[in-house]
A and B are shown apart, each in its own frame.
Chain A
């Protein structure tokens, strides 16, 4: 079985995986990083979004071996110690989460948008989030949070 090594939340992590092991399985089951969630099996809900080399990726669509050598950020690695990342803080401030299950994917997807666009319009946010499902919030407050978080980030994470 192949061994993979990647930087996860700033730390080098290795593990022996099967060829079919998904990145999300490696994160959740091998590394115990259960903040990344699995909500579907068709790569449509977006609960499993992480960053691979700075870009948002559905970790259920990516094999662990594909991420070999990559720099991976999960929701556990976003905050700076006790200080929330500006996007996390914006979700808290604007009540952009309820049950919290879609939240890690939403936040990481939003950070990727904000890295590209520091002042997204409501329309741009809604279009960007087409790969992330939420059943609780009706998206209203998520959109507000993403706009506020992007502005707070000021064009960089």
Chain B
């Protein structure tokens, strides 16, 4: 592997950028089909109501309107399924209430889909939607975990007594209890993980078409995983055979988890196109995106850590309540369980860990994965608790972490995971040096002289990415495999198309994967193009989420390239009249070992497609596919350090410095990796300081636009210090671990630990996210009495 130029390890400029920079990207809303109609989705304005009746007569009579469909029209269609079955402590299966695409009988959140109005223009459809008369008979709503579990609370679903979906656990409770009995110290904490709204800048959109000539449906949709949508929509909702259903996720403007789920709108559009025999297009307005894109996080937790007199961790006990929203979105149920509870060993050797999670239905937007998905929630809790333990025991907060680090690998945690590799001391040391940790007290004193409270915070963490292997996740309730596919097609004249089951919506796969293939095959980077996002072109793949694309999808491509090389050796051996075992492949040439007799990849490819002089029994063509099912998760790890200055007069938090020190495994393109880290850090800082989805008690969304949901803007953030210490993943040939979620997982506790550190002299010892100026100011006032 070359490591420079355009090869693995080089900061190659992105292939994608030419089209994005010149306005020639092709996002779903940029696509228009001949004869298309426009669909407007009418949404519930109330959080919980029985539908007494829906009168569509006036809307149907409005100008340009072709159809109005409601839940009753779609009654024979399957509901929206969920992708992961969780079992409770007592062995019972989770409650899985029906989720009709268009509300049937009841609406259960503000934003629930009630009807689709189809017209010649979107303006006509939207105007006519105002004429749909829905008789909402309002019911009491539960808009929070506290409301859902209250005595006598309104029931979101008749099938779910007390609004509980499941009551799950992981770890050895008895061993953990015993650890607490023998402990010298017990430190406890209560934390809330604030609910977030994802806000990819591209709103969701879809266009569905039915071709009566072929009986084929095509759905263009803003998805991170087109095959997953095809499987769920085809097999479970509409009952369409998959060879008659094509899903295209073209350029997608950011996902962050919110474009993983199979959404009701995709089913409604596709079904409507079939009913009308014309293409139907829908583009979500931002105001509807706030109340229909899946939300993230929303946990309330209490935890305690048992320690011996020297500060060694003995046991950890976590009790969490999670809000799942009104219906079970695609991966909703696994986020607060298998992406959360099994993270609680963190980078530490805590011998006994137990986590229980009770999940609730509420009259709010369904909750699903959001950048990090479960792992930010776990990391936030653990790093707040470890920080508090250091304070209560009077220990140095770096040393208490270092004292408990895992140092021998593989390491089997008490909560199912086995870490294959890492060097947590190295990432910590790198971060401390980069952030000038030792010089902080001088900076604190200097700030104090200016009337500012300066604080520094740290978090040390691990992630679990590239969730796998399929057999294991299947035994835990996953209803899908978690492998990935890759195909490499060497064309007759030597250029190459790569087909991946992953999906790029900002991550730069077209560049990174081309680097891998061009490096391995010794061909020009520009001779390699990567195809993704179209189920009619790519092999069946699982898409992009959980920082899996390089570690899982990149490895599938790597393995497909190896197959190409193996076949090429046979062809070259025949041409060179040598044995295939004697052929070596390097820099694009097949050479008879120890000689200068060689054939180029181009010559071999042409021979494969024009097989006049060809090995007997070998298939023509030079195209190979690999499906890769990993042996284990990957485990990126890092240390994040944040320095803040708080103005005690206003409560305003100024981010002075953000330092990331990360081990993300082998880096293919450092430029792209740094960009992923920057974006994750911004997302995590947004959660820590700015972003909060709020509902009123009646289930009305209080933060329903950019007017009142705070998104991080350029002036809210500093430049970031990015540092790497690399260990390679041991179970994939690339040594890759994952990078997309690192920032949003690692940085929130570092921010809050820094804010608390800054305010400690004023008597503040706790802080809830987001640490807005109002909240900080109130905490200062409260502490000052």
User: Residues of A with Cβ closer than 8 Å to B?
Assistant: 28, 33-42, 44-45, 47, 74-76, 78-79, 84, 88, 91-93, 95, 97-104, 107, 122, 125-127, 129-130, 132-143
Assembly CA distance A137 to B251 (angstroms): 17
Q: Point out the residue from A35, A133, A139, A141 that lies within 8 Å of B201, measured CB to CB.
A: A133
CB proximity of B675 to chain A, nearest CB, Å:
5
Q: List 18 A-B contacts (CB under 8 A).
A: A34-B29, A39-B201, A39-B253, A45-B286, A74-B23, A79-B21, A84-B21, A84-B22, A95-B672, A99-B202, A101-B254, A103-B20, A125-B714, A129-B715, A130-B714, A134-B201, A137-B682, A140-B682
Given known pairs A40-B286, A98-B506, A126-B714, the reply for A35 and B24 (CB within 8 Å) is: yes
Contact: A35 with B254, CB < 8 Å?
no
* Contact flags B233-257 to A (C-beta < 8 A → 1, else 0): 0000000000000000001111010
Assembly CA distance A57 to B285 (angstroms): 20
Contact: A107 with B21, CB < 8 Å?
yes
Q: Point out the residue from A37, A76, A78, A135 that lies within 8 Å of B679, measured CB to CB.
A: A135
Q: Of residues 242 to 299 in B, which have CB atoms within 8 Å of A's CB atoms? A: 251-254, 256, 285-287
Contact: B22 with A35, CB < 8 Å?
yes
* Most B CB within 10 A of own CB, among A75, A79, A98, A134: A98
The prevalent SS among residues of B at the interface is loop
Task: Supply 6 further A-B pairs (C-beta < 8 A) apart from A35-B23, A41-B705.
Answer: A38-B203, A84-B22, A101-B27, A101-B253, A135-B679, A137-B679
CB proximity of A86 to chain B, nearest CB, Å:
12
Interface presence of B535 (CB below 8 A): no
CB-based closest 3 A-B pairs? A35-B23, A101-B253, A100-B20
CB proximity of A130 to chain B, nearest CB, Å:
6
Q: Which residue of A lies closest to B711 (CB)?
A: A133
Contact: A99 with B14, CB < 8 Å?
no
Which residues of the partner chain B approach A47 to less than 8 Å between Cβ atoms?
201
Contact: B25 with A35, CB < 8 Å?
yes
Which residues of the partner chain B approach A125 to less than 8 Å between Cβ atoms?
714
Which residues of the partner chain A approach B674 to less than 8 Å between Cβ atoms?
95, 141
Which residues of the partner chain B approach A39 to less than 8 Å between Cβ atoms?
201-203, 253, 286
Contact: A100 with B714, CB < 8 Å?
no
Which residues of the partner chain A approach B253 to less than 8 Å between Cβ atoms?
37, 39, 99-102
* Contact flags B666-682 to A (C-beta < 8 A → 1, else 0): 00000110110011111
Contact: A97 with B719, CB < 8 Å?
no
Interface presence of B720 (CB below 8 A): yes
Given known pairs A138-B681, A140-B678, the reply for A100 and B720 (CB within 8 Å) is: no
Assembly CA distance A100 to B507 (angstroms): 10
CB proximity of B288 to chain A, nearest CB, Å:
9
Contact: A97 with B714, CB < 8 Å?
no
Contact: A76 with B287, CB < 8 Å?
no
Q: Which residue of B lies closest to A105 (CB)?
A: B201
User: Residues of B with Cβ closer than 8 Å to A?
Assistant: 13-14, 16-27, 29-30, 199-203, 251-254, 256, 285-287, 505-508, 671-672, 674-675, 678-683, 705-707, 711-715, 717, 719-720, 743
CB proximity of B655 to chain A, nearest CB, Å:
12
Q: Point out the residue from A79, A97, A135 that lies within 8 Å of B683, measured CB to CB.
A: A135
Q: How many A-B residue pairs have CB under 8 A?
A: 177
Q: Which residue of B lies closest to A32 (CB)?
A: B32
Which residues of the partner chain A approach B21 to less than 8 Å between Cβ atoms?
75, 79, 84, 88, 91-92, 97, 100, 103, 107
CB proximity of A113 to chain B, nearest CB, Å:
12
Contact: B707 with A135, CB < 8 Å?
no
CB proximity of A135 to chain B, nearest CB, Å:
5
Contact: A97 with B20, CB < 8 Å?
yes
Assembly CA distance A43 to B392 (angstroms): 48
CB proximity of A41 to chain B, nearest CB, Å:
5
Contact: A140 with B711, CB < 8 Å?
no
Q: Point out the residue from A38, A98, A130, A132 that lies within 8 Å of B675, measured CB to CB.
A: A98
Given known pairs A91-B21, A99-B202, the reply for A42 and B252 (CB within 8 Å) is: no
Which residues of the partner chain A approach B286 to less than 8 Å between Cβ atoms?
39-42, 45
Given known pairs A100-B506, A135-B199, A136-B506, the reply for A79 and B22 (CB within 8 Å) is: yes
CB proximity of A104 to chain B, nearest CB, Å:
6
Q: Which residue of A lies closest to B30 (CB)?
A: A34
Q: Point out the residue from A37, A92, A101, A104 that lies within 8 Å of B14, measured CB to CB.
A: A92
Contact: A140 with B256, CB < 8 Å?
no
Contact: A34 with B23, CB < 8 Å?
yes
Given known pairs A37-B253, A95-B671, the reply for A100 and B16 (CB within 8 Å) is: yes
Which residues of the partner chain B approach A102 to less than 8 Å between Cβ atoms?
201, 253
Which residues of the partner chain A approach B706 to less than 8 Å between Cβ atoms?
40, 42, 44-45, 133
Assembly CA distance A125 to B682 (angstroms): 17
Assembly CA distance A130 to B254 (angstroms): 20
Given known pairs A41-B287, A45-B201, A92-B14, the reply for A129 and B713 (CB within 8 Å) is: yes
Contact: A92 with B17, CB < 8 Å?
yes
Assembly CA distance A47 to B706 (angstroms): 14
CB proximity of B37 to chain A, nearest CB, Å:
15
Q: Which residue of B lies closest to A93 (CB)?
A: B13
Q: Point out the residue from B26, B285, B508 that lies within 8 Å of A98, measured CB to CB.
A: B508
